[in-house]
């Protein structure tokens, strides 16, 4: 288990209602994300650390122009990192659990659909348990991807993943579960997916920092070398992202 931590991780603050506001000069954002990608490459989670910066910006602009986002906790750093990880791994199948309005989902799927696309995917699914939120996310995603390769379904992510019959190459976790379970639902979703995740597949868990207490059993699982080859906690904002490779 490794940690990538920037000096300013707890000072970088975003307004959740104003997600497109630039929080730092672009060169600082790029350098911070490059630092994270280098650690992920060192851990052999990524084969390299290169991605197309212009395509990432085209993706960002399309989301800003076309998505209705009531709020989001995805910082520009996190948006860039999610895009880059997907652009580098190029997962044929990706499932994102707990996508709210779809912003987190498209931060991942935008590497394969829309103006930021840099590869051809097979099936990219966002799962959202709340039907109204799922409908909003699906409307947003359709603005960027008319093909349907990226789609949103209204379902419980545990049920959906359990019934998914194909390989899952990248799993993004952001569901906040029932009031008693909270983010502890990550482990239920991962356990439902685990057998369909081939060696080398990757799990991204948002809120590895600000929900670390609720995620303690999840984090113990992905940091156990019996189950995952390596795991890196990326701490560059107050939310954080645990990146684990099977």
Determine, following the binding rule CB under 6 A, whether residue 206 of this chain makes contact with ligand SAM: yes
* Of residues 40 and 158, the one with the C-beta less far from ligand SAM: 158
What span, in angstroms and rounded, lies between the C-alpha atoms of 30 and 5? 15
Determine, following the binding rule CB under 6 A, whether residue 98 of this chain makes contact with ligand SAM: yes
Element (H or E) spanning 160, and its range? helix 157-163
- Count of residues that interact with ligand SAM, criterion CB under 6 A: 22
* Of residues 60 and 133, the one with the C-beta less far from ligand SAM: 133
CB atoms within 10 A of CB 42: 14
Determine, following the binding rule CB under 6 A, whether residue 77 of this chain makes contact with ligand SAM: no
Kindly report the backbone phi and psi dihedral angles of residue 163, in degrees, each rounded to the nearest multiple of 5, phi listed first.
-90, 0
Those residues whose C-beta lies under 8 Å from the C-beta of residue 71, and which sit 6 or more positions away, are: 16, 17, 19
Determine, following the binding rule CB under 6 A, whether residue 86 of this chain makes contact with ligand SAM: no
Which position among 40, 77, 123, 128 is part of the footprint of ligand SAM (CB under 6 A)?
128
Which position among 72, 79, 108, 140 is part of the footprint of ligand SAM (CB under 6 A)?
72
Strands 170-173 and 150-154, by their bridges, are unpaired
The residues in 152-171 that bind ligand SAM, with binding defined as CB under 6 A, are: 156-158
Determine, following the binding rule CB under 6 A, whether residue 242 of this chain makes contact with ligand SAM: no
Determine, following the binding rule CB under 6 A, whether residue 87 of this chain makes contact with ligand SAM: no
For residue 17 the two structure tokens come to 């209602």
For residue 44 the two structure tokens come to 């052999």
Give the interface segment with ligand SAM, choosing from 20-28, 37-45, 141-149, 175-183 (CB under 6 A).
175-183
Locate the DSSP E strands across the chain: 2-5, 93-97, 123-128, 150-154, 170-173, 202-206, 230-235, 241-245
Report yes or no: 176 and 185 within 8 Å, Cβ to Cβ.
yes
Q: How far is the CB of 243 from ligand SAM (least distance, A)?
A: 16
Determine, following the binding rule CB under 6 A, whether residue 185 of this chain makes contact with ligand SAM: yes
Report yes or no: 49 and 88 within 8 Å, Cβ to Cβ.
yes
Give the interface segment with ligand SAM, choosing from 69-77, 116-124, 193-201, 218-226 (CB under 6 A).
69-77
Q: Which residues bind ligand SAM (CB under 6 A)?
A: 72-74, 97-98, 100, 103-104, 127-130, 133, 156-158, 174-177, 185, 206
């Amino acid at each position: 288990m490794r940690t990538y931590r920037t000096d300013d991780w707890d000072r970088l603050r975003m307004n959740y209602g104003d997600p497109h506001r630039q929080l730092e000069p672009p060169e600082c954002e790029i350098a911070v994300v490059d630092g994270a990608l280098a650690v992920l490459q060192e851990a052999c989670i990524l084969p390299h650390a290169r991605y197309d910066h212009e395509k990432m910006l085209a993706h960002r602009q399309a989301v800003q122009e076309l998505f209705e986002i009531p709020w989001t906790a995805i910082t520009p750093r996190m948006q860039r990192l999610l895009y880059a990880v997907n652009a580098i791994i190029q997962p044929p199948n990706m499932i994102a659990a707990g996508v709210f309005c779809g912003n987190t989902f498209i931060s991942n799927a935008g590497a394969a659909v829309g103006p930021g696309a840099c590869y051809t995917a097979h099936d990219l699914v966002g799962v959202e348990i709340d039907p109204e939120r799922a409908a909003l996310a699906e409307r947003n995603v359709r603005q960027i991807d008319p093909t349907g390769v990226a789609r949103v379904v209204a379902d419980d992510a545990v049920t959906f993943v359990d019934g998914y019959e194909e390989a899952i190459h990248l799993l993004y976790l952001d569901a906040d579960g029932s009031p008693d379970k909270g983010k502890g639902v990550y482990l239920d979703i991962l356990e439902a997916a685990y057998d369909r995740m081939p060696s080398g597949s990757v799990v991204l868990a948002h809120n590895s920092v600000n929900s670390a207490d609720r995620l303690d059993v999840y984090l113990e699982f992905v940091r156990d070398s019996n189950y995952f080859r390596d795991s890196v906690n990326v701490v560059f904002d107050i939310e954080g992202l645990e990146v684990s490779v099977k």
